[in-house]
């Protein structure tokens, strides 16, 4: 029986269909076993000047994203709504050189947030956030140049210790301005200009010493007052007892007086 030209036998057609379905199944299974990296919306990797970069600028993030490629050299998380940095937030980024966290809502940084970045990081931007007070230990061992400008800083000894513990980025020191302070005349002034004339830690120490002296004087005055009251009360009791003895017959009075004198002595 002859086959019409251009047509394939039915068994061969079915075989090709089965083979195609088998290849599609292999591709599907391969994509399930090896899925493509799923980055947050608005985040993408790139390469800039030979450095591996991961950008999440203006991506409406509320936390530091997970699964950032661990060979990233430059990380941009600027213009988001990140409120705080948890401990070990960047622990898996040992090759990170630049970290931009500017223009967020960061008000708190947990101790150890930058742990693991001490060796390579050379630029850290925390400008335009909501930082009021940060411990100097937060930046322990970091060699990076830090931008702390445009935050609502509380100008006190803690900020002074922080400023002296980090290396500030060039042209950023003027942006560290007092948003609040124990002394109203400091508000609105650049903090580095203030600490050139005022040692905030010494002022705090003097205030603490004065408070301790006032407290000690108060306790001392209370003790003295109690002793004076105690002596006067005893004297009054003794005077009343002696007056009582004078009103007694002579023999009983002498015995009572001797007893009273011995007791007083």
| CATH code, domain with 112 | 3.80.10.10
Would 17 be classed as within a structural domain?
A: no
Higher-scoring residue by pLDDT: 131, 236 = 131
* Lowest pLDDT segment from 87-96, 178-187, 232-241: 232-241
The range of the structural domain enclosing residue 224 comes to 199-235
Separation CA 90–CA 85 (nearest Å): 9
Q: What does the block give as tokens for 107?
A: 């008000």
Q: What is the DSSP letter of 80?
A: S
Residue with tokens 């970069």: 53
pLDDT band at 36 (very low <50, low <70, confident <90, very high): very low
Residue 252 domain flag: no
- Report pTM: 0.65
**In terms of domains, do 207 and 190 share one?**
no
Q: In Å, how far are 210, 226, 229, 235 from 223, measured between CA atoms?
A: 20, 5, 10, 18
* Residue at a domain's end among 198, 220, 243: 198
Q: Is pLDDT above 50 for 157?
A: yes
Per DSSP, helices labelled H in 9-156 are: 10-33
- 55 & 164 share domain: yes
Is residue 198 classed as helix, strand or coil in its secondary structure? coil
The structural domain count of the chain equals 2
Same domain, 68 and 184: yes
């Amino acid at each position: 029986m002859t086959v019409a030209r251009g047509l394939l036998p039915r068994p061969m057609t079915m075989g090709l269909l089965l083979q195609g379905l088998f290849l599609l199944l292999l591709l599907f299974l391969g994509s399930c076993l090896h899925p493509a990296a799923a980055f947050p919306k608005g985040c993408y990797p790139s390469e800039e000047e030979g450095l591996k970069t991961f950008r999440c600028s203006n991506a409406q993030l509320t936390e530091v994203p997970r699964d950032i490629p661990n060979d990233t050299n430059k990380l941009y998380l600027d213009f988001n709504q990140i409120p705080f940095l948890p401990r070990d937030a960047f622990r898996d980024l040992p090759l990170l050189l630049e970290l931009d966290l500017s223009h967020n809502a960061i008000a708190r940084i947990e101790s150890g947030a930058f742990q693991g970045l001490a060796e390579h990081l050379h630029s850290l931007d925390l400008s335009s956030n909501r930082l009021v007070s940060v411990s100097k230990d937060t930046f322990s061992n970091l060699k990076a140049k830090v931008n702390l400008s445009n935050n609502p800083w509380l100008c006190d000894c803690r900020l002074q210790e922080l400023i002296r513990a980090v290396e500030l980025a060039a042209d950023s020191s003027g942006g560290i301005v007092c948003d609040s302070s124990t002394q109203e005349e400091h508000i609105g002034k650049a903090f580095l200009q203030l600490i050139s004339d005022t040692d905030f830690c010494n002022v705090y120490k003097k205030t603490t010493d004065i408070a301790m002296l006032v407290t000690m004087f108060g306790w001392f005055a209370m003790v003295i007052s109690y002793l004076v009251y105690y002596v006067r009360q005893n004297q009054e009791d003794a005077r009343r007892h002696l007056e009582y003895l004078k009103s007694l017959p002579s023999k009983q009075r002498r015995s009572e007086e001797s007893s009273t004198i011995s007791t007083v002595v």
